[in-house]
Amino acid sequence: MEFEKGGVWRNWVGNQYCVPQFRASPSSEAELSEAVAQAAAQSLPVRVAGSGHSFTPVVGTSGLLLSLENLAGIRSVDKAARQVTVAAGTRINAVGKALKAEGLSLVNQGDIDSQAVAGAFTTGTHGTGLKLGNLASSIAGMRIVTADGSVMVIDGSDPDLLHAAQVSIGTLGAISELTLNVTDSYNLHERLWRDDFETCMERHDELAAQHRHFGFFWCPVPESRHLYCLADTSDAPWSTTRKDADICEMKVMDITDAPPMTSAFETIAYSSDVYPIEYVPNFVELEYAVPLEHGKDSIRAVRELMLTRHTNCIYPIEYRFTAGDPAWLSPFHRQDSITLSVSGGPGIDYWAFLRDTDAILRRYGARPHWGKMHFLDRDDVTALYPRADDFRKLRRDLDPQGRFLNDHLRPLVG
């Protein structure tokens, strides 16, 4: 197939860019295989871009950059098996719409739904819910175009292969298709309110246990919530919400049969219509998964850091829950966790803040989100992920030349 000249690629937030030699946008798996085989013949490295919503250099290449925007759409829905098969470039919001029409729902979603399915699911993207795994844990199968252009089919019959591929950050090959386990359609009842930090800590275990989803944002200064467009819930009639509270958005969501309704602070609607919130690209985020038992200590420590040493860092902390899963490189590998994220704002030097946050969270054995800022080196990956060497071996077997690696990923999983 014809490669185009590469030009400049940049990610959504604008903190990563690359200048690939070539680009291509295949519209079928056969074209994707042809492109990868052609790159192999020219000894070009290859990467696939999803929607570019990662903050880390997980996409960039100097060789061939593939976009799968033309390899998108629902391939099939199996209502009885509760599975949907989608082309890898399909956006999450398109999957939600298709499932709604079929009386099905995704099991869980994160804060936005504009990512490509392959990009979001295989970096370990998560929502919130103590008993809910990350999105990758719902991957039942995949088709991957490997380094020589051949197609590897993963269908779960080899659980190790599935668990290796579920979180693989584009390093096993170019995913052309994914089969996802889904669930019967459900409506969510979402409630938002504000409270103070100590009340939130007191209710932490109870709210996490009693609701399908619970999460919150802590804001160091009143204007913090504007940076993430968090709702002003101080007028919510039904809760103890307070204008001066520093937990600016406490959120619970539960499955309900109640009819649709929306107010500023309460929504009942189809699942995929409730999950996403609006963000503007003005921050650089670091997010680590901390073992559940250290959740409260870790947020206390990072909060103290923000109140005493980095008072110019005023983006909210986002705090969520995710259940453990077996994927080899999942940040939640066999570990129920909370996730804690902080963000650097534009126009300030936030590196010292991110490094200090990393130093605190390391003390708790935290594992970073692959798509958000982190400071892992090869030894850290080996120490944090018991199956890291198995993953590296599999990757080398599939791609001995490291065609699907880049300078960021080679030291970590090469």
Ligand X SMILES: Cc1cc2nc3c(=O)[nH]c(=O)nc-3n(C[C@H](O)[C@H](O)[C@H](O)COP(=O)(O)OP(=O)(O)OC[C@H]3O[C@@H](n4cnc5c(N)ncnc54)[C@H](O)[C@@H]3O)c2cc1C
Q: Which residues bind ligand X (CB under 6 A)?
A: 12-13, 47-54, 58-59, 68, 88, 110-112, 115-116, 118-120, 122-123, 125-126, 169-170, 174-175, 279, 369, 371
40 vs 169 by CB, closer to ligand X: 169
318 vs 356 by CB, closer to ligand X: 318
126 vs 387 by CB, closer to ligand X: 126
Closest approach of ligand X to the CB of residue 111, in Å: 3
Give residues with Cβ within 8 angstroms of 183, minimum separation 6.
82, 104, 105, 106, 107
Helix (H) or strand (E) segment spanning residue 100: helix 92-101
54 vs 137 by CB, closer to ligand X: 54
Closest approach of ligand X to the CB of residue 240, in Å: 27
Residue 331 DSSP SS3: coil
Closest approach of ligand X to the CB of residue 39, in Å: 14
Tokens describing residue 319: 């705090």
102 vs 326 by CB, closer to ligand X: 326
Which DSSP letter does residue 383 get? H
Tokens describing residue 15: 């903190």
- How many Cβ atoms sit within 10 Å of the Cβ of residue 226? 12
267 vs 330 by CB, closer to ligand X: 330
- CA 392 → CA 63, 180, 402, distances in Å? 22, 25, 11
265 vs 332 by CB, closer to ligand X: 332
Closest approach of ligand X to the CB of residue 41, in Å: 20
Closest approach of ligand X to the CB of residue 228, in Å: 9
What whole-number distance in Å separates Cα of residue 339 and Cα of residue 10? 26
Closest approach of ligand X to the CB of residue 354, in Å: 16
Closest approach of ligand X to the CB of residue 392, in Å: 16
Give residues with Cβ within 8 angstroms of 345, minimum separation 6.
227, 282, 283, 313, 314, 315
317 φ, ψ to 5°? -85, 130
Closest approach of ligand X to the CB of residue 175, in Å: 4
55, 16 in Cβ contact below 8 A? Answer: yes
Closest approach of ligand X to the CB of residue 103, in Å: 25
Which residue has 């946008």 as its token pair? Answer: 25
**Burial (0-12, 13-18, 19+ Cβ within 10 Å), 260:** exposed
241 vs 330 by CB, closer to ligand X: 330
316 φ, ψ to 5°? -65, 155
133 vs 236 by CB, closer to ligand X: 133
Q: Count Cβ neighbours within 10 Å for each residue of 100-132 and write b for 16 or more, e otherwise.
A: eeeebbbbbbbbbbebbbbbbbbbbbbbbbbeb
